[in-house]
Every structure is written in structure tokens, then in C-alpha cells.
Amino acid sequence: MTEWLGLEGECMDLNTAWKKTCKTVLGEEIGELDSYKEYLSHFNEPVALVKSGIGGKEVAVSIEGICEGAKFLGYSELGEYAKRFASEVSINDMKDLDSLADKFSEIAYYCGDIVLGNSKWFENCDMCASIFFTKESHHVTDSKYIAYSYMIRHGENLYGCGIFGDGSTSIRSLYGYKPVRCFECHRMIVSSDCYFSANLDGCNNCIFSFGLRNKSYCIGNAPLPKEKYLKLKGKLLEDVRAELASKKSVLGILDLLSANGMAEWNPKKFNIKRGIEKAPYFDTKAVPVPSHMEKAFQTTTQVLLGKPLVGLAGYEKWLLRHVRVPEKSVSAASGKPLYLVPLTFSAMMDKRSLSLEESMEWGTKSISEIEAESLNLKNAVSVLDKIRYSTTEIKDGDNRDIKEAVNYGNSASCYYGSMFWTAKYCAYDFWVRYAEYEFGCDLVFYSSFCINCYSSTYLTRCFEVAASLNCSDCYFCYNCEGLRDCMFCFNVKAKRYAIGNVELGKEKYMEVKKMLLSEIGKQLEKSHDCQIDIYNLGAIGKKK
């Protein structure tokens, strides 16, 4: 697909939107979007191309942790999938958890190219919902005009960006909340019109700056008169455009945040850890589980399994099985231990990471005005050596009782995880937002009473559910939408009291559910583990 026409009078094609963004951010257009594909996608979280077991075509899958030997299909093949696996289900075949898993492993096809909700004009996207004019991106929701980006919420005109909430009109920038008109930036909070900068809060018009709060017209953290700043900005953008035109690349913010000024991208080396080899990963002796969190876990397991599980810390390994685990590191300033948010860019800036408090103190340092005037793309790494540090920690809004977390805002009673936003009573999670009573979840939004759920939105009382939207009281379901009281369902919509994609009626369904929950509860109490999860179900039948 080379052109999107859109709605007459309301939309433009993606390439035109890119050119307008370049003119806004860089002062002039720099050419066609596709010619910058390698540059814009270079540091993105990886997407795997796998072969469909239905039609044989390549399918983009952005979820890691799916079992070896699993079967895949493309979102466009769901019709054929439904025809191929339409069958009767007998309750007599459902004697225990193992028989359920074995029977329904046959229908366990993991779907790629998933785009849910009200979406139009997209190409090669996965795990997206309510998107418009979006290309080669994943985990994007409620956004438009997005290319070569990932983990975007409520974004517009973003190219080569990642981990953005409510951001717009930015190019190859990472990890921000409400950034506007930013180029090659990292950790920007409510900041605008910034270039080659990191760890700025409430700033605008800053270049090559680090650790500033509520500052304007700074280069290398040095405040300059507006006229001088704009003159130097114009010269820098001229150099940036020339570099991009000739090399299709330019000095990046991750270069500036790396130890030697040259960011190394090795997917094998920087593969993000999901799960842990052995518990404990978090130091629960130093930061013990408080009684109210233990009670929240017992309440959640009572709701989902019919009986409370006791001892949250003892379930750490099971809860983190498919969750991005914060990277353990040390401060480049003090050598004190700290956690990094578990994304690929964190590993590349490991030697120049600070705690949030240290990074704010670092922001008081600056280069001289003379150095600021001579700063350019070639000497930036050396001139900025004493200030080019950042942090992955974010603490925003009103927070209470948050422990062992890297990034959080307006949350309460959250523990042992990476990113908590407008959340309460959550633990062992990565990026949950508008969440309550979530444990072992990764990228789950607007949800409550969930355990081990992933890449989903609007879930209520769900257990081992992934890649799904608007589901409640579901167990072991994948790529489902609008399900109520279902289990072992794959790639279906609008079902109730269904097992293996077949509706059985309430009485039969509840009989099987009672057996299932009893067995899961016994397994967990005995070993603090459950052998079957939503990502290994597809290989169960092959183990015979």
C-alpha cells in the first residue's frame, strides 16, 4: 500500500502527514517517508515475522513468549480459521485441566497483524486498536498518522517513536508523556520544541539539554537570549537536514546517552527479559509485602479462582513468567542500585543512567555559553560529556505507597513492577493504566481483577487472557473481543458461555468452570505455579 486517500476534506495520506511534520519540526521537508524506514525503525522493539499455518503468508507478531512450535495465522485469515475449526464440543471430553488443554491446543492459533476496534488505513501493524493512517507499528491505540513506532497511546503524527502517551508531532523520540514537536529526545514530560535532549519536565525550546525542569531557550543546559537561541537552532536544523538528506541518518539521542557516544543495537544482547529464572527477583525482605497488598491479592484470587491464595511474594516467579522485568543496574553517579524500565533503550544507556533525584541534581550543570555557541553534530558527544545523562524513573502526580517501581503516576499501593499509571492494588506488572487489582500483567489498560493478562484493554475478572478487548470472566483466551464467561477461546468475538469457541449454555459451562478453577487452585497452592498458560497452550498437544 503506497497511498492512503482518507476521508475527503478531513484526512491526508501518511506520506503527506510526514512531510508536514518534518516542516514543522525540522523547518523543511526532507523527502519521502519510506526512504527513512531504516533510520526511524532502527531502535524499535522487535517484531517477528512468522509463517501462517492457515495460508502460508508471513505474519507480523509483536508479542514475545509464545511457545516454540506454536501455530500462527494472520488477522485477515480469521474467516478461514473459523470454518476450519467449527466443531461440536462434548462436556465428557473435559475431565480435568490437562484434558482441556490437550483438546483445545488444536485450535490454539496465535494471531498476528491484530488491529481491533474502529480502525482504518493501516499497513503491517500488530496489537493495535482504534488507529488511522498507521504503518509498521505495534501496540498503538487511539492514534493517527503513526509510522515505525511502538507502544503509543493517544498519539498523532509520530514517526520512529516509542513509549508515548498523549504525544504529537515528533520524530524518533522515546519515552514521553505529552511531548510535542520533539526530535531525537528521551524522557520528555509535558515539554515541547526540543532537540537532542533527555529528562526534561515542563520545558520548551531546549537543545542538547539534560535534566532540566521548567526551562526555556537552553543549549547544553545553558540559558541563552531568545534571539541567540533561535539563530543557533536555525543553524543546527540546517545541519540536521543536510545530514539526513545525505546519510538518511543523524546523531541520535541514544548515541548521546551511551557510554562512548555510539549506541550499539544488538537484539540478542539487548533482548528484554520476560520472567525470572528463580525467585525472589525483588528484595521482598528489604521491602516486604504490606498487609493491605496481601489482602488485595487474596481478594483477587478469591474472585478469579473461588478461593484466596496466601503469600503474594511466593508467587513472584509465576506472576512474572511473561512480564517485562525491570533491569537491575547501578547509578552512573553514585554506584547505588537502581532499576531501569525494561525496554531496549535502557540497556543502551545503562552506563549513563541515574536515579530521578540524581538526574535533577545533574540538571544544574551546564556547558558555557561559548561552548553552546560552538556546539554541533560532530562535537556534541565530547562537549556534552559532563551532562549527557538521563533516567528512566518517572514520578508524576499524586502517589501513595508505591514501592520497587520505576515509573508511575497518580497511583496508590503498587509494588514490584515497572510502570503504574492511575493504578491501585497492582503488583508484578509492566505498564498498567487505569488498573485495579492486577497481578502479573503486561500492557493491560482500563481493567480490573486480572491475573497474568497481556496486551489487552477493558478486561474484567480475567485469568490468562492476551491480545483481547472488552472481555469479562474469561480464562485462557487469545485475540478475543466482546466475550463473557468463556474459556479456551481463540480468535473469536461476541461469545458467552463458550469453551473452545463453542457456546455450551450456562449450566454446562459452569460445571466445567468449577472443575477448572478447583484444579488450578490446587496446583497453585501446592507448587506456586500453574503448568499451563495462554502462551504455551499451543504446544500442549505436541508434547505427546
**Which string of DSSP letters, residue by residue, matches 38-100?**
HHHHTTSPP-EEEE-TTT--EEEE----PPTT-EEEEGGGHHHHHHHT-----GGG-SSHHHH
Predicted confidence at residue 540, as pLDDT, reads: 67
Spatial separation of the C-alpha atoms in residues 453 and 323, rounded to whole Å = 9
Record the cell numbers describing residue 360, joined without a space.
Answer: 535533577
Check: CB of residue 474 under 8 Å from CB of residue 485: yes
Check: CB of residue 196 under 8 Å from CB of residue 186: no
Query: Could you write out the three-class secondary structure of 99-130?
Result: HHHHHHHHHCEEEECCEECCCEEEECCECEEE
407 strand-pairing partners: 394, 419
Spatial separation of the C-alpha atoms in residues 421 and 21, rounded to whole Å = 29
Spatial separation of the C-alpha atoms in residues 73 and 133, rounded to whole Å = 23
Element (H, E) at 175: strand 174-177
Spatial separation of the C-alpha atoms in residues 250 and 157, rounded to whole Å = 20
Read off the DSSP letter of residue 164: E
Check: CB of residue 440 under 8 Å from CB of residue 429: yes
Scan for cell 506472576, then name that residue.
319
Check: CB of residue 478 under 8 Å from CB of residue 491: yes
Spatial separation of the C-alpha atoms in residues 99 and 321, rounded to whole Å = 23
- Does a cis peptide bond (omega within 30 degrees of 0) precede residue 280? yes
Predicted confidence at residue 42, as pLDDT, reads: 86
Predicted confidence at residue 541, as pLDDT, reads: 52
Domain-wise residue ranges, the chain: 28-45+116-256, 291-326+394-543
Element (H, E) at 360: helix 356-362
Check: CB of residue 406 under 8 Å from CB of residue 416: no
Read off the DSSP letter of residue 36: G
Per-residue pLDDT of the chain in tens (544 residues, 90 and over written 9) = 333 433 333 457 999 999 999 999 999 999 999 999 999 998 888 778 899 999 999 898 888 788 888 999 999 999 999 998 877 677 777 778 888 888 888 899 999 999 988 899 998 899 998 999 999 999 999 999 999 999 999 999 999 999 999 999 999 999 999 999 999 999 999 999 999 999 999 999 999 999 999 999 999 999 999 999 999 999 999 999 999 999 999 999 999 999 888 877 665 554 556 788 888 899 999 999 999 999 999 999 999 999 999 999 999 999 999 999 999 999 999 999 999 999 888 888 889 999 999 999 999 999 999 999 999 999 999 999 999 999 999 999 999 999 999 999 999 999 999 999 999 999 999 999 999 999 999 999 999 999 999 999 999 999 999 999 999 999 999 999 999 999 999 999 999 999 999 999 999 999 999 999 999 999 999 999 998 999 998 876 554 4
Q: Report helix angle 506-527 to 97-104, nearest 10.
A: 110
